[in-house]
A = this chain, B = another copy of it.
Amino acid sequence: MFDMNLENIRVVMVSPLYGGNIGSVCRAMANMGLSDLAIAAPRKTDEGETRMMACHSVGIYDERKEYPSLAAAVADCGAVFGTTARMGLYRAHAATPREWAPRILEMAATAPVALVFGREDNGLSNEELALCSNIIQIPTTEEYSSLNVSQAVMVTCYEIFTAAGVYAPPEEKSPPASHDLRERMFAMWRQTLLQVGFMSEDKSDHMMMGLRRILGRGAYTEDDVRILMGMARQTAWAATAAQKLNERAEDPLVEDRV
């Protein structure tokens, strides 16, 4: 539904220092369905490292736009979201990327929305933060709150991508097994385990309690339960066949025939 809106979301890097980080940002953007990269107040960086870290997303780097300042990079944006790990001044107005994501997508329906990421060494200046209409703060431990810039881009874009609902979770997944199906499976194993002599009738309730816990923990889906049922069925068949062979072996008439 929000697929189109992702096109309206711009990642703005302010004066990045390391080419490798620019490349990692491109790759994170590509993973999460974004493509509009702006670099504000660019510095000289190692382009070889950018290309190496970008891997197959280097097209995003090649189509980046460069601007003399942050103000210029966000001039056409309807909303500007700054990221910061710093406490104090702006902390009171900050929210997490998960909290902001739906609003970012909503806003991106009508105008470009900028996500602004600061320098590796100094983050965003107070003047740059003042240009931001909203502040994003990524949850971290208090002990180490400074994220690598490309990791900050990844977490932010991941939350937006996830909120956009573009991602289709695995489809062929087997549905959870019903209570009934699980009970049938346990009943089959009970029968089989009696038959192979793993337990006697008088101990069977106690043994099955343990087995129910073990098998029940591992078998979530219909597929899981059907695999365990197949095992029980096959074991019972093999035991019966062996028994019959045994009976024949003990049968004097059979011996005659051998």
Kindly state whether residue A182 has any CB partner on chain B within 8 Å: no
B139/A158 in contact, CB under 8 A: yes
Beyond A170-B92, A170-B94, is A161–B139 a contact (Cβ under 8 Å)? yes
B24/A141 in contact, CB under 8 A: no
Kindly state whether residue A150 has any CB partner on chain B within 8 Å: yes
A173/B93 in contact, CB under 8 A: yes
Chain B: CB-nearest residue to A6: B141
Beyond A55-B146, A140-B167, is A151–B92 a contact (Cβ under 8 Å)? no
A29-37, A40-48, A61-69, A184-192 - the one binding chain B = A29-37
Give the total of A residues in contact with B, Cβ under 8 Å.
46
Interface 0/1 of A5-45, CB less than 8 Å to B: 00000000000000010001001101111000000000000
Kindly state whether residue A137 has any CB partner on chain B within 8 Å: yes
Kindly state whether residue A200 has any CB partner on chain B within 8 Å: no
Chain B: CB-nearest residue to A145: B31
Min CB distance A206 to B, Å, is: 24
Distance of A218 Cα from B167 Cα, bound (Å): 32
The 9 A-B pairs with the shortest beta carbon distances in the complex, nearest first, are A139-B167, A30-B144, A33-B141, A31-B140, A151-B154, A91-B170, A92-B172, A92-B173, A94-B170
Q: A30-B143, A33-B141, A56-B146 are in contact. List 15 more A-B contacts (CB 8 A).
A: A24-B148, A31-B141, A31-B144, A31-B146, A55-B148, A57-B144, A92-B172, A92-B174, A95-B170, A139-B162, A139-B169, A154-B154, A154-B155, A155-B155, A158-B158
Return 9 A-B CB contacts under 8 Å, by A number.
A24-B151, A27-B151, A31-B146, A92-B174, A93-B221, A98-B162, A138-B158, A141-B167, A154-B155
